[in-house]
Amino acid sequence: MTLLVRERVEVAGPPPDRPPFWTMRRRDELAGWLFVAPQLAGIIAFVLVPLGLVVWYSLHEWSVLADTFDYVGLGNYSALADDPRLGPALRATGLFSLGLVVLNLSLALFLAVLLNQKLRGTVVFRTLFFSPVVVTLVAWTIVWGFLLQDNGGINGFLELLGIDGPNWLRGDATAMISVIVVQLFKNVGLNMVLFLAALQGVPAELYEAARIDGASAWARFRRITVPLISPTILLTSILTVVGSLQVFAQIAVLTQGGPGTSTTVLIYYLYQQAFQFHHFGYGATISLLLFVIVLALTALQWRMRRKLSFYED
Amino acid sequence: MLVYGVLLVCLIPFVFPTWWMATTSLKPVNEIFAFPPSLWPRSATLDAYRQVFELQPFGRQYVNSLYIALLVTVGTLVVSSLAGYAFARIRFRGSGLVFMVVLAGLLVPSEVTIIPLYRMFDGLGLVDTHWPLILIPILGAPSVLATFIMRQFFITLPKELEEAGRVDGLGRLGLFWQVALPLARPAIGAVSIFTFLHSWNLYLEPIVFLSSKDKFTIPQALTQYVDAYGGALWNVQLAAATLSALPVLIVFVLAQRQFVEGLAQTGLKG
């Protein structure tokens, strides 16, 4: 019915020798641009322009308190290269990211494999492992900070077992381990769920065939599971690495970058310089360094895609 | 049986902190560091909960967090579903280039641009208002992942559906609103969940942009329960933490299928 009405309207439209200006193609052209306009404008205003400003700021000595904004060329860059705190900050960032990514991906994959067996109660376990993801980040951090106090819950339970626990957040190594572990259990459920979804896409016949050929459980995991879910491994590792460079709240709440500077990762150092010491120009230089690291790591992992992913959609 | 044993042991660090948070918030001050540690409060009290609201305008801060997170979620859905739809289904000149520009947002964490963003909002007189916390996530880098997920979903829709819509006389907006969007519920669910949580958890932006207590959001407020020497009032902090975590946890348990499967089965799979 609708079809008929349509056609009659079109026949009654403009004569065939002058095609209408608003063809479907032109309409789509306009609609496409209008649909992406808010996003495009937002990215320009809140990402690209600020990124340009970061570069501009990094070329200036800018003291908010003294209200000065002087061009210093690459002065901030050479200052950053000579900054005795840069080395420790990069080291802390590297330790944190590496520790987190390795532990996160192995634990997520381990839990996903455990839960991928057809067991009763899988949904309950999955829900519980995922639950920290939805707990308010700072709430999660606070309760761990409380547990990790010298006289807190963890040392209390250790003492019941006759172990004298360390003052976790006050030792260089234990403080770093603590912030890694707090972040690990907060978000590992997310990667676990992504791995579970990937595992469910691995055809069961492959395992059957391998079992008949006498492959061990480890060999099946190594030769079937890992290659087949490698696109997911790549994706989760990119998300986890980039995410680890943005971890701020946990450090700010648990250690404030201490003891000493042992947990002062780059983003925390950036926050200190810009918003505690009000060195915006120098802070911008650190921002750029952080940006370059994110870029380099993403590019590196993207290049590894060919080596890692045997089967890509 | 062995598998269950391993799973139960693995569960401890995931579940115990939440349990400890809720039970400690009910303990009187002299019990919170008691040895041996008590898994259940020996004498329960709601004293800490009373202090949560006495020491800070916590109700107000709770509403702040909630309305900001809801606005950000709705705003992100509008922006990302429109853009995701256009990238997936509309052929227009320059779409490839625009897509690359938008994807660049994935590579620029908002922390990198926090200094110029602060200056921009300062110039507009919007520091110590909620505007930066609302506008940056909706329009800036955080929404790009949402757009990407939406695009990945809309790409999978069969062409015939839209052709049928065309025949019925629908324009682009109609096709988007009446055909594509109703089918996108899993993607909308996933985007809503992680957008809400992202906003709800935000910490760096609030402490940079906000300075008056009645404008604070929950994460920022939680750390403000300290004594005169800056030492944490643990039971009060944990009571406030419980209040912030429990409603989201309950919603999650009730809707866990949509949560978990929505996240797993949308574009995030790659």
Question: pLDDT tens digit string along B1-39?
Answer: 788 899 999 999 999 999 999 999 999 888 888 878 888
- Which phi and psi (to 5°) does residue A63 adopt? -105, 115
Residue B3 located in a structural domain: no
SS3 A150: coil
Task: Give the H or E element holding residue A63.
Answer: strand A60-63
Q: CA-to-CA distance for B128 and B168, rounded, in angstroms?
A: 50
**Is residue A248 over pLDDT 60?**
yes
SS3 A71: strand
Candidates B92, B167, B234; nearest CB to A29? B92
pLDDT score, position A108:
96
Residue B89 located in a structural domain: yes
Q: CA-to-CA distance for B126 and A213, rounded, in angstroms?
A: 68
Q: A61-78: per-residue pLDDT in tens?
A: 887 777 788 888 888 999
pLDDT band of A228, cuts 50, 70, 90: confident
Domain limits of chain A? 13-75, 83-308
- Which phi and psi (to 5°) does residue B25 adopt? -65, -15
Helix, strand, coil percentages, rounded to 5, for chain B: 75, 0, 25
pLDDT score, position A299:
86
pLDDT score, position A2:
42
pLDDT score, position B129:
96
Q: What percent of chain A has pLDDT over 70?
A: 91
Measured CA to CA in angstroms, residue A217 lies from A103, A118, B85 at distances of 22, 16, 44
Residues in A closer than 8 angstroms to B115, CB to CB, are 53-54, 57, 274, 280, 283-284, 287
pLDDT score, position A308:
57
Q: Tell the residue number behind the tokens 């996160």, with chain if given.
A: A104
**Is residue A55 over pLDDT 80?**
yes
Among the residue ranges A39-53, A147-161, B126-140, the one predicted with the least confidence is A147-161
pTM of the full predicted structure? 0.89
pLDDT band of A14, cuts 50, 70, 90: low
Q: Tell the residue number behind the tokens 């050929």, with chain if given.
A: A213
ipTM of the complex, rounded to two decimals: 0.91
Q: What percent of chain B has pLDDT over 70?
A: 97
Residue B107 located in a structural domain: yes
Q: B89-106: per-residue pLDDT in tens?
A: 998 888 999 999 998 888
Number of domains in chain B: 1
> Long-range contacts of range A112-118, CB-CB < 8 Å, 24 or more positions apart?
A112/A192, A112/A193, A112/A195, A112/A196, A112/A199, A113/A195, A113/A199, A113/A221, A113/A225, A114/B3, A114/B6, A114/B7, A114/B10, A115/A192, A115/A196, A115/B7, A116/A196, A116/A199, A116/A200, A117/B3
Record: contact A46-B111, CB cut-off 8 A: no
Residue B170: give its domain's CATH number. 1.10.3720.10
pLDDT band of A8, cuts 50, 70, 90: very low
Record: contact B116-A54, CB cut-off 8 A: yes
Task: Give the H or E element holding residue B254.
Answer: helix B234-254
Q: A250-307: per-residue pLDDT in tens?
A: 999 999 988 988 999 999 999 999 999 888 999 999 999 999 999 998 888 878 766 6
**Is residue A33 over pLDDT 70?**
yes
Residues in B closer than 8 angstroms to A39, CB to CB, are 79-80, 82-83, 102, 139, 143-144, 147
Q: Does B260 touch chain A (CB under 8 A)?
A: yes
Across B207-224, average pLDDT: 94
Q: Tell the residue number behind the tokens 């025949």, with chain if given.
A: B167
Across A108-124, average pLDDT: 88
**Is residue B267 over pLDDT 50?**
no
DSSP classification of residue A60: E
**Is residue A102 over pLDDT 70?**
yes
Q: CA-to-CA distance for B171 and B186, rounded, in angstroms?
A: 24
Of A86 and A63, more confident: A86
Candidates A51, A194, A270; nearest CB to B108? A51
Structural domain including B97 reads 62-213+256-269
**Is residue A39 over pLDDT 90?**
yes
Of B39 and B213, more confident: B213
Q: How far is A214 from chain B (nearest CA, A)?
A: 23
Average model confidence (pLDDT) across chain A: 87
Q: Tell the residue number behind the tokens 């495009």, with chain if given.
A: A40
Cβ A269 vs Cβ A56: under 8 Å: no
Residues in A closer than 8 angstroms to B256, CB to CB, are 123, 127, 130
pLDDT score, position A64:
75
Across A163-175, average pLDDT: 90
CATH, domain A83-308, list 1.10.3720.10, 2.60.40.2140, 1.10.10.60, 1.10.10.10: 1.10.3720.10
pLDDT score, position B66:
95
Across A208-225, average pLDDT: 86
pLDDT band of B169, cuts 50, 70, 90: confident
- Preceding omega of A166 cis (within 30 degrees of 0): no
